[in-house]
Amino acid sequence: MWQHTVKKEISFVGVGLHSGKPVKLTVKPSAADSGICFKRSDLAGDRVVNASVYKVSDTSLATTLAHDDVFVGTTEHLLAALSGLDIDNVLVEIDSDELPIMDGSAAPFVHLLKMNRKVQKAARLMMKIVKPMTFKDGDTEVTVKPFNGFKVTSNIIFDHPVIESQSYTVNVNFESFSKEIASARTFGFLEQVEYLRANGKALGGSLDNAVVIDRDGIVNAEGLRFGDEFARHKVLDVIGDLALLGCPLLGHVTATKAGHTQHIAFMQMLAEHQDCWQLVHRDENGFEDVLDKVVMATKAAGKKVLPFLLPPMPATVQQVAC
């Protein structure tokens, strides 16, 4: 399977969900094996942050990446769009510290990106799960098990009659992501939005870029795009965060009552349990070339942080290897 970039520069304009500031984002072509990088065009110098779990600095409201004093927030929706469309190598320039929220989903990104994919004659490095693994943190859980493809399941439970218990599973590929997942919007409860705004957050949030729920139901006049839009959006978040592994995953990931914090800790745990996965190159006919991890670590060390080069995860969370 070949790597992909984009044919030309593609720009998006919107507002930051939390800052409320106008943001311009431009996705630019990048060379094979360079991965996804974010560049702050509003700062002097070459201020770049790699899209890597190693660079995650905050997960309280969204997934924020940082390198030294350079921060890039709310990355998960664009990362999900790139991952869902199998786009491996791009430079993302933004003129603010937060990506634009657009309509609260990945659909606006997907609409333009899917028409501008460009194949690169370089094999994709993939992480193939060969043994199940489970991460637990309180009543949240993220598991992965072998699967010949990339499948994601999200199980959510909220004490509200509009949501209650929902589950959604998708075998992620170009078509399924575009049709089933990309347009699912972020959501929040009205009282939470009011609290965040009082504390200087969610200043760019509106009914145009989020599903808002009050005690009576959905506030948005148009209602939901899917009956299970909440679970589908959680799948989108999982896909976006998993893009920070640095290479596509071959396996079935199930996230139960999990958020960005648990997704990142799960990936850190996966990096440590090297007996659970292999690095492979897979050709167009499905044949695989298993790569030696020590050799790959040596090749990647100076350029791209792969999962097995990550630091240990905090000891405060429970790790369970099955």
Share above pLDDT 90 across residues of the chain, in percent, rounded to a whole number: 75
What's the mean pLDDT when you consider all of the chain?
89
- Catalytic-role residue among 18, 252, 260, 263: 260
Domains and CATH numbers, the chain: 2-320 (3.30.1700.10)
Q: In the prediction, which pLDDT does 21 show? A: 93
What are the b/e assignments for 200-235, b being 16+ CB within 10 Å? ebbebbeeebbbbbeeeebebeeebbeebbbbbbbb
Give the model's confidence band at 317: pLDDT under 50 very low, under 70 low, under 90 confident, else very high. very low
Q: In the prediction, which pLDDT does 285 show? A: 65
Spatial neighbors of 253 by CB under 8 A, at least 6 apart, are 142, 143, 144, 151, 152, 153, 238, 242
Interhelix angle 229-242/76-84, nearest 10 degrees = 80
Is residue 233 annotated as part of the catalytic site, yes or no? no
For residue 48, the tally of other CB atoms under 10 A from its CB is 15
pLDDT tens across 47-106, in order? 999 999 989 999 988 999 999 999 999 999 999 999 999 999 999 999 999 999 999 999
Q: What is the mean pLDDT of residues 174-179?
A: 97
Give the model's confidence band at 320: pLDDT under 50 very low, under 70 low, under 90 confident, else very high. very low
Contact in structure between 92 and 24 (CB atoms under 8 Å): no
- Return d(Cα 55, Cα 71) in angstroms, integer: 10
Contact in structure between 185 and 212 (CB atoms under 8 Å): no
Helix boundaries (H) for 159-279: 174-176, 190-198, 229-242, 260-272
Q: Is the pLDDT of residue 216 over 50?
A: yes
For residue 28, the tally of other CB atoms under 10 A from its CB is 16
Q: Is the pLDDT of residue 112 over 50?
A: yes
Closest CA to 189 of 214, 163, 164: 214
For residue 139, the tally of other CB atoms under 10 A from its CB is 9
- Return d(Cα 154, Cα 234) in angstroms, integer: 6
φ, ψ at 198 (rounded to 5°): -65, -20
Range of lowest pLDDT (158-167, 186-195, 226-235): 186-195
Give the model's confidence band at 195: pLDDT under 50 very low, under 70 low, under 90 confident, else very high. confident
Range of lowest pLDDT (111-120, 218-227, 300-309): 300-309
For residue 3, the tally of other CB atoms under 10 A from its CB is 21
**Cα dihedral sign for 83, 143, 52, 258?**
positive
Q: In the prediction, which pLDDT does 113 show? A: 98
Q: Is the pLDDT of residue 293 over 60?
A: no
Q: Is the pLDDT of residue 305 over 50?
A: no
Range of lowest pLDDT (38-47, 211-220, 288-297): 288-297
Q: In the prediction, which pLDDT does 319 show? A: 38
Q: Is 259 helix (H, G, I), strand (E, B) or coil?
A: coil
Q: In the prediction, which pLDDT does 296 show? A: 52
pLDDT tens across 241-285, in order? 999 999 999 999 999 999 999 999 999 999 889 899 999 987 666
- Return d(Cα 110, Cα 8) in angstroms, integer: 15
- Return d(Cα 39, Cα 26) in angstroms, integer: 10
